[in-house]
Amino acid sequence: MDYYVAVNSLGFGQTIWEVDKPNARNMMQPSTLTSTLTEGPGEDVVTLVADDMSPHVIHKLNITPGQYYPRIARPSYPRLDFPSSITPLSDEKVYRADALRQLHFILSTLDDLFLTVEPTEANFSTYGHAFRNLLLIACTEVEMHLKGIMTANNYTPSGSRFTMNDYCKVGPAMRLSEFELKFVQYHTIPNRQPFAAWASASAPLPWYKAYNAVKHNREVAFDQAKMEHVIDAVSAVIVLLAGQFGAHLGQDVDFEERPWKPVKFTSLPQWQPSDWYHSDFSGTGTRRPKNFAF
């Protein structure tokens, strides 16, 4: 059984077709109307669907309608302008709340540091104990999220424990390298892409490399606990939350203070229609998790 989405010229999905050769069924069309196509001799039912939907373009879906990858956000109809998650909110309520509280703490701590050292590029090499401590906190939060994403999809680490050799596989699954953000209250900080290095396979992340260096040998690598690495590590925490639950995360939780407020995304992953999430149109409305094959 295959599924296809018909997309109009504006990039919006119009309908879903279920293809079980030799038949195809329009899943979003009432049964009282003509909603099925059947191929005849020498015909291909997928071609018939494409002709029927023209000028819309059809795309084969990589995931069955109603299915989703746990903690991996994808565009879902009708909100296709940003990644969103169809994970039932009740399933992740505690995790989301705790993650947002931790993010609020991290951002508040970063604000306090910026009261002492102005976040300009000229000061990006500034380092110290307070910067080191926040780098450690932010990077352990990054590790927690990466491990949580993989565990939610029943991934087994390649060794006895999770390492960056495992974590880097999350990059292409969530297209993390495409996220770019700006700190709206600090115009002197250039836009950040904390996972830009992952655009090229499993290239090391400079801020994470610095974290490991200063964590294990502060005496030698203390200067790696610098402002720029801290900013990128904090940015990575934000990106991972957006990658799991959507860039609109702060709008659908019961917090008066939105941890999202200081940050604006300037670039988000551009998912192809074949990777969108779609509701189950079978009538049950069921949302079913499917493990991502990292």
Q: Is the pLDDT of residue 79 over 90?
A: no
Q: What is the pLDDT of residue 247?
A: 80
pLDDT digits (tens, 9 = 90+) for 204-214: 999 999 999 99
Q: What gap in Å lies between CA 256 and CA 238, rounded to an integer?
A: 18
Please report, to the nearest 10 degrees, the dihedral formed by the alpha carbons of residues 95, 265, 84, 76 taken in order.
-170
- pTM of the full structure: 0.90
Q: How many CB atoms lie within 10 A of CB 51?
A: 10
Q: Supply the DSSP symbol for 154.
A: T
End-to-end CA gap in the chain: 23
Single out the residue of 63, 240, 252, 260 nearest to residue 167, CA to CA: 240
If you search the block for the tokens 């109603």, which residue do you land on?
Answer: 66
Phi, psi of 224 (to 5 degrees): -80, -15
SS3 250: helix
Biggest CA pair distance of the chain: 76
> Contact, 229 vs 135, CB < 8 A?
yes
pLDDT band with cut points at 50, 70 and 90 for residue 284: low
Q: Supply the DSSP symbol for 89.
A: G
127 Cβ contact list (under 8 Å, min separation 6): 222, 223, 224, 225, 226, 227
Single out the residue of 227, 193, 198, 188 nearest to residue 210, CA to CA: 227
Single out the residue of 242, 160, 158, 153 nearest to residue 193, CA to CA: 242
Q: Is the pLDDT of residue 180 over 90?
A: yes
pLDDT digits (tens, 9 = 90+) for 153-169: 999 998 999 999 999 99
Q: How many CB atoms lie within 10 A of CB 94?
A: 9
Tokens of 264: 């604006």
Q: What is the pLDDT of residue 285?
A: 62
pLDDT digits (tens, 9 = 90+) for 89-141: 556 778 888 998 999 999 999 999 999 999 999 999 999 999 999 999 999 99
Q: Is the pLDDT of residue 46 over 90?
A: yes
> Contact, 24 vs 17, CB < 8 A?
yes
Phi, psi of 24 (to 5 degrees): -140, 140
